[in-house]
Amino acid sequence: MSAREEIDLDAVPVRRLNRLLQGRDSARQAGSFDVLNPRGRHALAAGLVDPIDVVIHGHAGYYCAGMNQQARVTVAGNAGTGVAENMMSGEVRVHGDASQSAGAAGWGGLLAIGGDASARCGISMKGIEIVVGGSVGHMTGFMAQAGCLVVCGDAGAAFGDSIYEAELYVLGEVETLGADCVEKDMDDRHVARIGELLGRAGFAADASAFRRYGSARQLYHFRIDNAAAY
Amino acid sequence: MTGDRPPRASATFPPHVIAEIHRAAGQGIYSIRGGGARRPLPNFDDLVFLGASVSRYPLEGYRERCGTDVTIGTRFAGKPVTLKIPITIAGMSFGALSANAKRALGLGASAAGTSTTTGDGGMTEEEREASDILVYQYLPSRYGMTPDQLRRADAIEVVIGQGAKPGGGGMLLGQKVSERVAGMRVLPPGIDQRSASRHPDWTGPDDLEIKIRELREITDWEKPVYVKVGATRTGYDVGLAVKAGADAVVVDGMQGGTAATQDVFIEDVGIPTLPAVRMAVDALKELDMHRKVQLIVSGGIRTGADVAKALALGADAVSIGVAALMALNCNAPLWPEDYAALGVSPGHCDQCQTGRCPVGITTQDPVLERRLDPEEGGRRVRNYLATLAMECQMLARACGKSHVHNLEPEDLAALTLEAAAMARVPLAGTDWIPGWSR
């Protein structure tokens, strides 16, 4: 088993951390790293491309693990705005809460948030899978295009507003649904999908108790009859 | 009795207003079209150059060198881009434009030694292959945006707005959302596709600063980062973009075109390019950033004179969109029956939103697209760019300048009160600048 490498951000700048993790100075394809004293710094572990393992011991600022490809990034703390934004693949885990726009525009990979996620979680998501152990804020899933969002707590106002083809699941209460977002029937395939995502995220919940939401597909074309919905 | 008097049209309800009311009453939804503002606006035609005479001496037109090169990204980027001419091709999406059109623009720009720009929906292989210098737009929708494409670009343009619709998002009507376009954007084919008006993961200048740092971290601080805004509160916007860490600012005036936007947006939101240039330069000078953060101006640039005037007011480069499409034969008198089918005629067509472009530029229809040969189109774009550059050089030499960037406001006079006030250039024959001097 290879040793983990420690990077202390009280001693080295973020630029050097990211160059190291991005493998810009080596041909490294794998490795394990512990990032110490993150202190809410921004863009930590952003733009990673290799299947490395990174644990950030503390709170991360904006855009932690932004545009991640293949890497497994864990935030042992809270994450600021846009954690795992535009993620393509890999896994990002947040032990605490995540600020707004978690997983924004993500194309793939798994984002697992142990606590709550703030507003606009999964906004413009394009295929990413997001599992939130707690609740999510308003406008979550806004213009969500593809992928899957599982919320084990409650969802704030305008949930799934202007949604395209993403799948949304909520265990608790939904404050209000956004434009063109409707509750849909659940069947065994959906229960199995939730169960599989909960398992990968490491969260325990009754998959059959979730409710499913998606697009009514009534706003896919600009028509006078839809004017009141906008 | 009125029969023996000529009819007098209402100034409040001229024919085009009446027609629009009739159309709205029939359809119950706003009008969407392509192109830029149709209304007359103060513009670069309202300025003239004060060529050299006794008090100034010119450079010899066919002998003495007049430089046209410009380097963008000198503030922070590890690899700034250097262009041979100060005229770039503006961001236009594959989707709004055909693949052949994107390739032709890339070929033409490369032959002229300048850059072209992607648009909503990401980068196509045709475009990357054809473009020596490719600017990658980072847009609110993030359609097609991947880190691999970001790293393959030569510069990044964070798009906050565009001149045709500051504060508005974008749209691509269903007839242009082909299987390929939909696939790149991860959307169902055939839907009326909406592009968001705000970025999904940042709001305000403080966030923008952090976002730009993230983009730099992901691209190893190599790429110049531009920030593009539609011209409105230009002084504030340029200042905040500089504060946020931009290498370059792109200011797009309200004459800037679009492939599909509400008519009311095109005509009634934003300010003309003429005052926007001056406001942007003022903001840069106030921050001691003029010529350190490059200013690229767009919106209604058509001739080498327009280029020279924008540079004289302080821009480092200009960007062209609609004019470049015209170089590809947009509005050329070809296929008249197809123009007629759109209810327009050559020279008056702005029906890009229909996807039925008679000359194969703003379409996803394979039959129409074949009407544009990208190689021939590339040659036409290259010729047009070369002409603009030569015209600009000629005017600079006439003003005694050995580089087009040495043109200055003192070389200009205004023909109208409005232009004098907006550009802060004296009214011709006077030393009066309305609003600025007594």
CATH number at residue A78: 2.160.20.60
Residue B185 and residue B270 in one domain: yes
Cβ pair A105:B142 closer than 8 A? yes
Q: In the prediction, which pLDDT does B225 show?
A: 98
The count of residues in chain A is 230
Q: State which residues form the domain around A71.
A: 5-219
Q: In the prediction, which pLDDT does A229 show?
A: 65
Residue B278 and residue B365 in one domain: no
Residue B93 and residue B167 in one domain: yes
pLDDT digits (tens, 9 = 90+) for B10-60: 999 999 999 999 999 998 888 999 989 999 999 999 999 999 999 999 999
pLDDT digits (tens, 9 = 90+) for A170-191: 999 999 999 999 999 999 999 9
Residue B318 and residue B333 in one domain: no
Confidence of residue A227 (pLDDT cuts 50, 70, 90): low
Q: Which of B153, B147, B159, B151 shows the shortest CA–CA distance to B195?
A: B159
Residue B131 and residue B203 in one domain: yes
- Which residues in chain A are closer than 8 Å to B220, comparing Cβ atoms? 19, 22, 24
Domain contains B190? yes
pLDDT digits (tens, 9 = 90+) for A52-110: 999 999 999 999 999 999 999 999 999 999 999 999 999 999 999 999 999 999 999 99
pLDDT over 70 at B2, yes or no: no
Distance CA(A132)–CA(A122), nearest Å, equals: 11
Residue B13: burial class (beta carbons within 10 Å; 0-12, 13-18, 19+): exposed
Domain contains B83? yes
pLDDT over 90 at A25, yes or no: no
- Chain A: nearest CA to B145, how far in angstroms? 8
> Dihedral sign, CA of B240, B246, B248, B254?
negative
DSSP class of B121: T
- Chain A: nearest CA to B154, how far in angstroms? 17
Q: In the prediction, which pLDDT does A161 show?
A: 97
Q: Do A216 and A182 form a contact (C-beta atoms < 8 A)? A: yes
- Which residues in chain B are closer than 8 Å to A24, comparing Cβ atoms? 220
Q: State which residues form the domain around B299.
A: 42-323+383-403
Q: In the prediction, which pLDDT does A69 show?
A: 98
Confidence of residue B193 (pLDDT cuts 50, 70, 90): confident
Distance CA(A197)–CA(B313), nearest Å, equals: 58
Into how many domains does chain A fold? 1
Distance CA(A64)–CA(B102), nearest Å, equals: 34
pLDDT over 90 at B194, yes or no: no
Average pLDDT over residues A140-144: 97
ipTM of the complex, rounded to two decimals: 0.96
Both tokens of B101, joined, read 């059109």
Both tokens of B368, joined, read 């129409």
Into how many domains does chain B fold? 2
Lateral strand order in the sheet of A91-94: A5-8, A32-36, A53-57, A72-75, A91-94, A110-113, A126-132, A146-151, A167-170, A211-215, A181-184
Both tokens of A140, joined, read 């979550």
% of chain B surpassing 90 pLDDT: 90
- Chain B: nearest CA to A81, how far in angstroms? 7
- Which residues in chain A are closer than 8 Å to B148, comparing Cβ atoms? 69
Residue B315 and residue B248 in one domain: yes
Domain contains B431? no
B183 in contact with A, Cβ within 8 Å: no
Residue B393 and residue B317 in one domain: yes
Distance CA(B417)–CA(B422), nearest Å, equals: 9
pLDDT digits (tens, 9 = 90+) for B316-361: 999 999 999 999 999 999 999 999 999 999 999 999 999 999 999 9
Residue B316 and residue B231 in one domain: yes
Average pLDDT over residues B162-185: 89
Q: Which of B93, B95, B91 shows the shortest CA–CA distance to B179?
A: B95
pLDDT over 90 at A226, yes or no: no
Domain contains A43? yes
Residue B348 and residue B389 in one domain: no
pLDDT digits (tens, 9 = 90+) for B214-239: 999 999 999 999 999 999 999 999 99
Q: In the prediction, which pLDDT does B4 show?
A: 82
Average pLDDT over residues B105-117: 98
Q: Which residues make Cβ contacts (< 8 Å) with residue B331, sequence separation at least 6?
A: B346, B347, B348, B349, B359
| Predicted structure pTM score | 0.96
Q: In the prediction, which pLDDT does B282 show?
A: 98
Domain contains A228? no
Residue B29 has its nearest CB partner, among A61, A145, A224, at A224
Both tokens of B250, joined, read 């792109």
pLDDT over 70 at B267, yes or no: yes
Distance CA(B91)–CA(A24), nearest Å, equals: 30
B138: part of which helix (H) or strand (E)?
strand B133-138
Residue B316 and residue B342 in one domain: no
Distance CA(B279)–CA(B424), nearest Å, equals: 10
Domain contains B224? yes
We report the CATH number of the domain holding residue B295 as 3.20.20.70
Alpha-carbon distance values, B148 to A68, A111, A125, B111 (Å): 11, 20, 18, 26
Residue B313 and residue B341 in one domain: no
Domain contains B228? yes
Distance CA(B86)–CA(B68), nearest Å, equals: 6
Domain contains B421? no
Residue B152 and residue B179 in one domain: yes
Residue A145 has its nearest CB partner, among B147, B187, B207, at B187
Distance CA(B382)–CA(B379), nearest Å, equals: 5
Q: Do A141 and A117 form a contact (C-beta atoms < 8 A)? A: no
Distance CA(A109)–CA(A88), nearest Å, equals: 6
Average pLDDT over residues B124-148: 96
